[in-house]
Copies of this chain bind each other. A is one copy, B any other.
Amino acid sequence: MQQTDDDQAGLGGRVTSYDVARRAGVSQSAVSRAFREGASISAELRARIHRAAAALGYAPSHIARALMTQRSRLVGVLVTEATARNNPDILFHLGQHIQEAGNRMLVFTLPDDAAGDGILSDLLSYHVDGLIAATTLPEETLRRCARHGVPVVLYNRHGIAASVACDHTMGMRDLAAYLARTGTRDAAFIAGPQEAPVSEERHRAARAAFAEFGMTLRPAVHADYTHAGGHAATVAVLTGVAPPDTILCANDTMALGAIDACRHTLGLSVPGDVAIAGFDDVPQAGWPSYSLTTVAQPIPDLARAAVHLLVDQIDGRTTANERRLVPAALVVRASSRSAAAG
């Protein structure tokens, strides 16, 4: 029923709506309408055309359709290597939701140093209907997107566009509250690379929260978001004079490196000698060798929200520059002191 004789397309090029029209004995317009939801066409004709189309293995060309309708049903996604590595599955989740909305995901990968600007004209060349940027984009680029009518949603970033972000402030506040109750007085902060916006934001949130609870947060030590980076920074911090009682890392991977540094390089106990916390709740954080206290960043929710926000903009259903905050949840595990120890 599905499989009739299929495509005799052979080598004769692709099957077009004209071929279907000829076979069904109708005009090309009718074929076009048969494949356009809600078009003015009778049920019988539509059925007949669909039969002919199935027999020929015809499917409408998105390319040609895009040219006519000015809607490509393509959503551009910008990622850097660092983003891809720190947010496992982010591309997959974005892809799922983009597809559920009837679109396709066109991925633009950038080297970490970026300058996501040069890519813009390329984006426009593909007539993307919208853009999800998990990358820092210059304001000028965002303005040009707006001028060209391309909606943009920033992922875990702020800027002159709609955005979706994890509620770092709230998450960090919950974490700080817990740490305060369990004996933290003086903490070091291991940050990501200098320019990393999420690290910046988490650091800002941490400063505010630590101040609120009367704890000291030392100036940030910058690392590179990796396990090795966290390891090295931790060794540096803890071998100085007057080591802190707690190490807070801008992401889980560095926190896991910190734990390994304590246990395997410095011979310190976690959380006995020093408490350690991260941010993200990557799968490894829950593994018994680490059992890292952290704040869960709900990537599936972020992805869903980003796509919905974008689709709403594309369909003109929403005001631009809307900002959506997705809650983050504190996850207490064994790398921080227990409540009794306070």
Contacts and interface: CB of A to CB of B under 8 A. Distances in A.
5 contacts: A57-B121, A84-B92, A260-B287, A265-B288, A289-B289
A320 to B, nearest CB: 14
B288 A127 contact: no
A67 B265 CA distance: 60
A264 B291 CA distance: 11
Given A9-B147, A109-B92, A148-B9, A227 B264 contact: no
A32 interface: no
A125 interface: yes
Contacts of A60: 125
B92 A104 contact: no
Copies of chain A in the complex: 2
A265 B287 CA distance: 12
A110 to B, nearest CB: 9
A39 to B, nearest CB: 18
A107 B96 CA distance: 10
Nearest to A290: B289
Interface string A86-108: 00110110011001000011111
B85 A124 contact: no
Interface in A90-143: 91-92, 95-96, 99, 104-109, 121-122, 124-127
Interface in A4-45: 6-7, 9-11, 13-14
A11 B14 CA distance: 35
A interface bracket (residues with beta carbon within 8 Å of B) = 35 or more
B109 A99 contact: yes
A53 to B, nearest CB: 10
* Residue with the greatest number of chain B CB neighbours at <10 A, chosen from A67, A89, A124: A124
Given A63-B63, A67-B64, A107 B125 contact: no
A7 B290 contact: no
A256 interface: yes
A287 B61 CA distance: 49
